[in-house]
Structure formats: C-alpha cells, structure tokens
Amino acid sequence: DAFVVKVSKAKALNAFIVETPDHALAAAKEADAARAAGETLKPLAGVPIGMKDLFATKGFQTTAASHILEGFKPVYESTVSQRLWDAGAGMLGKLNMDQFAMGSSNETSYFGNVISPWRRGGGDNAPLAPGGSSGGSSAAIAARIVPGATGTDTGGSIRQPAAFTGISGIKPTYGRCSRWGVVAFASSLDQAGPMARSVQDCAILLENMAGFDPKDSTSLELAVPKWEASLSGSLRGKKIGIPKEYRVDGMPAEIEALWQQGVDWLKDAGAEVVEVSLPHTKYALPAYYIIAPAEASSNLARYDGVRYGLRELAEGQNLQDMYAATRAAGFGEEVKRRILIGTYVLSAGFYDAYYTQAQKVRTLIARDFENAWTYCDLLLTPTAPSAAFALGDKGDPLAMYLNDVFTVPSSLAGLPAMSVPGGLDKGGLPLGLQIIGKPLDEQGVLDAGLAIE
C-alpha cells in the first residue's frame, strides 16, 4: 500500500527482551536430522517461534517484562512451551510485553516500549503502539521476524495487538491451554493462545499448545480436536449474531463500515446474520477492572524479594523494609496501580460494594452470551474501537482501559474469541474483526475467521 511504510529493522522494534537463536537452531538441526533419516517430521519441525516473556522457559530469563523478575531463570518449563518444543518448534527469543501483561500498548514494559512495524501514511510518521499486552508477539509477526508466537489474553491481549498489526490471534476457551508455568495475572481470566499470519497457522499452533494438564486445576479434561484438518470457509447453516450494544458512541465510521463488510463476507460464505442483544455489555469494562486487579493483587503478593529476581536491601533494614524496598523498586507504575485498586476492592469495608458486585455482573454477562446462543452460533464484532494509536497518546490510564471495550466481555465469560485482519483504515492502518464462539467451539471461530481472511 502506497501509504504504509513497513520498517524492516527488526532490532529497532524492540520486540525481544532476550534472543535465543541457539534454541531455534537446535530445533532446526533436529528437523534436518529427522528429514535425512527419512523419519516422519513432527508437526512444527524446525519452526522458529517467539515466546511471550510471560511463559516460564527453563534456563532462559523469564521476566514478565518487570524489573522485579530481572535475571530470574526458571528451573522448570511451562506446559504450553513444553508442548511446542515436543512438537518440534524452537525459540528465537523471549518477546517483550506489557509488564505482568497489564496494558494495551506494550508501554508498561520495564524493557521499553515495542514499536509497531506499521506507520500511518500521509506524512504522519509518529511511531505507533503494536497493541498489548502481547505487543512483542504482534510486532515480531507483523514484521515477518517470526511466523508465529505465543500470546496470553486476560482481557484482550492476544486479540487487540493482532488487530493493531494486521495479523490473526485466537484466545481459546478458558481451560483449553494450561496456565502452569505462565506468570499469573488474573487466574480466572488468563488464557494462552497463538498469534500468526493466518487463521490456518493459528489452528496449527493452537493444536500444539492446548490439552489437559493435571498441573492446572482449571485445565479442561478434553482431547484436542483436529482444528486444522477440519478448517472450512463454508458457513452454510450457521447463524451469526451482531450484538447491537457493541455500536458504542464515538466509534469511527470506518470501523462501522468494516463491521458491515464483515457481515457481507460471512453472508457470502453461506451464513445467516441476525441482530442480538447483550444487555449488560456496558458493565463489562468496570467489572473487569475490578476483578482483574483484585486477582492480580493476590497473585503478585509472591514477589517479596525472597524467592525470585530482584532484592533491595540496605544495611540495617529488617524483613518488612526489604519487602517494601523490593516492591517499590521492582514494580512499574501500572502494576502498582493495579495492586492498589485490587487491595482496595478486596478490603473489608469495600469488598461487597465492589468485588461482590463485579462478580454478580460477571454472571450477568455470561448469561447474556448464553441467551444469545439460543439465536445464533457465533458473534461478529470489531476487535477494538480504534486502529493503532501513537506511542504516548494514551497517557491517561482510563483512556487506555477503554480500548478493551470489545474484548473484555468474552474474557469474563471464558469464551473462545479470535481477531482476524479485516482491512485498512484511511490512514492505511490495519483494523481487526472479532469472532466470539460458544464454549469449546474454537472450530466455529476459526472457520468464520477463514471466511473473513
């Protein structure tokens, strides 16, 4: 496209926190040896992928992009990364991200922001956010540094960065991918998933990430379907719901137009399109920004300067001083904000007013979706209310949180949801369309994604 210049300098994007070329090389050599010996190749034989720095990788620094974990080398491997290595993949590096996966722009990383490989046209050359929190993943794939990467999604962190960079990403049903060895943010919401250039690549990667794991108590005890082999762009007999509450005030006309274009593509693929209502949608964002920080404040209590990474200790200080000094120095501003919000909403005096109320809202949102499934099989919405914004543009945390308006409801309900590239805005920047499915219907989500792609 004449308006878009892709920056080719991989390093300039700051997509990786640590590069691990030897890991990828070992996988490539193993694949070569298997090929030479005439053996059947593993499904991801020799494929060099990027690993979000939220996944524990044995012997390789794992920081969640936080100073408090700097230098931490786990003595164990996350289940998801282990499955990928077992399938033959290798790791090119640990990808940059928002600190502890808190953010929508990758600007909260201790290791500096990631720069999107995209630029707006028309003389506006401001560096853009790659989305977040999986911003290293999205930038590295969009810049063609890796063919695929892992992401995690608590409230949109796979889907929104995919939309901002013109790639695909799927958050499976809560419980499909093991959370074991994934640095915890909000455990009732956290899900791993793949990001890649195509829907087919997402299906292949997801098959090699998902599966039951006895080490995660919320892991689903189900076989992994053959999503890739069953992929079909035909949506004959499928009903697609358009939730009217997602037509929010101030949404750019271009995103409205893209949404309509998406409807037409799905109709062309044989689907019937109906309008549906998800009446509690407007309460999803406030409920999420109570529940996620509440869980985060509890999960992050473990970073005490004793067990992992950083320890700040001056002579003559006691244990309490050491905790305080370590946490003050180790956590970034957004992480501290979440811990403060979380401990506040869980405090005895405010628990019922905020946390209990948010949990009730969560139930109502899940019921909205259950009700919608009596009228349709899948939902189509925009992924985000805007295209990628410029770095530094959203200094106000509330403005940043509002960018998650379309991704958070399906996270609260634990549903599978995917972002696929829909087209470009008039500045030449990618826009994403989101497909949300019933619990366990990753196949339906991927099929609709293929129909749009």
Site membership for ligand GLN, residue 155 (CB under 6 A): yes
Q: Which residue is nearest to ligand GLN (CB)?
A: 157
**Phi, psi for 344 (deg, rounded to 5):** -65, -50
Min dist CB 41 to ligand GLN, Å, is 34
Question: Which segment (64-72, 97-105, 270-278, 318-326) binds ligand GLN by CB under 6 A?
Answer: 97-105
Tokens 């890796």 locate to 146
Burial (Cβ within 10 Å: 0-12, 13-18, ≥19) of residue 71: exposed
Mark residues 180-219: x for contact with ligand GLN by CB under 6 A, - for none: -----x----------------------------------
Min dist CB 398 to ligand GLN, Å, is 12
Site membership for ligand GLN, residue 107 (CB under 6 A): no
Site membership for ligand GLN, residue 170 (CB under 6 A): no
> Distance between CA atoms of 341 and 190, rounded to whole angstroms?
19
Question: Catalytic residue among 42, 52, 94, 171, which?
Answer: 52
Which neighbouring-strand residues pair with 94?
18, 51
Min dist CB 263 to ligand GLN, Å, is 27
Max Cα-Cα span within the chain: 73
Task: Indicate the residue among 368 and 404 with the shorter CB distance to ligand GLN.
Answer: 404
Question: Do residues 187 and 171 touch, judged by C-beta distance below 8 A?
Answer: no
Task: Indicate the residue among 101 and 170 with the shorter CB distance to ligand GLN.
Answer: 101
Site membership for ligand GLN, residue 281 (CB under 6 A): no
Integer angstrom CA distances of residue 275 from 90, 169, 255, 378: 44, 25, 17, 11
Site membership for ligand GLN, residue 104 (CB under 6 A): yes
Length of the chain: 453
> Total binding residues for ligand GLN by CB under 6 A?
13
Spatial neighbors of 22 by CB under 8 A, at least 6 apart, are: none
What region, left, alpha or beta, does residue 90 occupy, with left being phi > 0 and alpha being psi -120 to 50 degrees?
Answer: beta
Question: Do residues 130 and 169 touch, judged by C-beta distance below 8 A?
Answer: no
Which one of 154, 178, 297, 326 is in contact with ligand GLN (CB under 6 A)?
Answer: 154
Min dist CB 185 to ligand GLN, Å, is 6
Catalytic site residue 73? no
> Distance between CA atoms of 290 and 61, rounded to whole angstroms?
31
Tokens at 210, concatenated: 């998902």
Site membership for ligand GLN, residue 295 (CB under 6 A): no
Min dist CB 1 to ligand GLN, Å, is 28
Which one of 74, 130, 135, 156 is in contact with ligand GLN (CB under 6 A)?
Answer: 156
Catalytic site residue 157? yes
Query: Of 114-143, which residues contact ligand GLN (CB under 6 A)?
Result: 133
Integer angstrom CA distances of residue 350 from 290, 344, 357, 358: 11, 7, 10, 12
Question: Which segment (65-73, 117-125, 152-160, 344-352) binds ligand GLN by CB under 6 A?
Answer: 152-160
> Distance between CA atoms of 56 and 47, rounded to whole angstroms?
19
Site membership for ligand GLN, residue 297 (CB under 6 A): no
Which one of 53, 77, 107, 153 is in contact with ligand GLN (CB under 6 A)?
Answer: 153
Min dist CB 174 to ligand GLN, Å, is 12
Site membership for ligand GLN, residue 172 (CB under 6 A): no
Which one of 49, 115, 141, 292 is in contact with ligand GLN (CB under 6 A)?
Answer: 292
Task: Indicate the residue among 132 and 330 with the shorter CB distance to ligand GLN.
Answer: 132
Chain-centroid distance, C-alpha 374: 28
Site membership for ligand GLN, residue 404 (CB under 6 A): yes
Catalytic site residue 277? no
Which one of 103, 117, 262, 444 is in contact with ligand GLN (CB under 6 A)?
Answer: 103
> Distance between CA atoms of 281 and 245, rounded to whole angstroms?
7
Min dist CB 220 to ligand GLN, Å, is 20
Site membership for ligand GLN, residue 437 (CB under 6 A): no
Q: Is the peptide bond before 230 cis (omega within 30 degrees of 0)?
A: no
Which one of 157, 165, 178, 419 is in contact with ligand GLN (CB under 6 A)?
Answer: 157
Question: Catalytic residue among 78, 105, 134, 157, which?
Answer: 157
Task: Indicate the residue among 404 and 453 with the shorter CB distance to ligand GLN.
Answer: 404
Q: 34-51 burial by CB neighbour count: b if 16+ within 10 A, else e?
A: beeeeeeebbbbbbbbbb
> Distance between CA atoms of 237 and 33, rounded to whole angstroms?
46
Question: Catalytic residue among 104, 109, 133, 411, which?
Answer: 133
Which residue, among 241, 252, 66, 80, has the nearest Cα to 158 in the 3D structure?
A: 80
Tokens at 191, concatenated: 């899900």
Contacting residues toward ligand GLN, per CB under 6 A: 101-104, 133, 153-157, 185, 292, 404
- Residues identified as active-site: 52, 133, 157
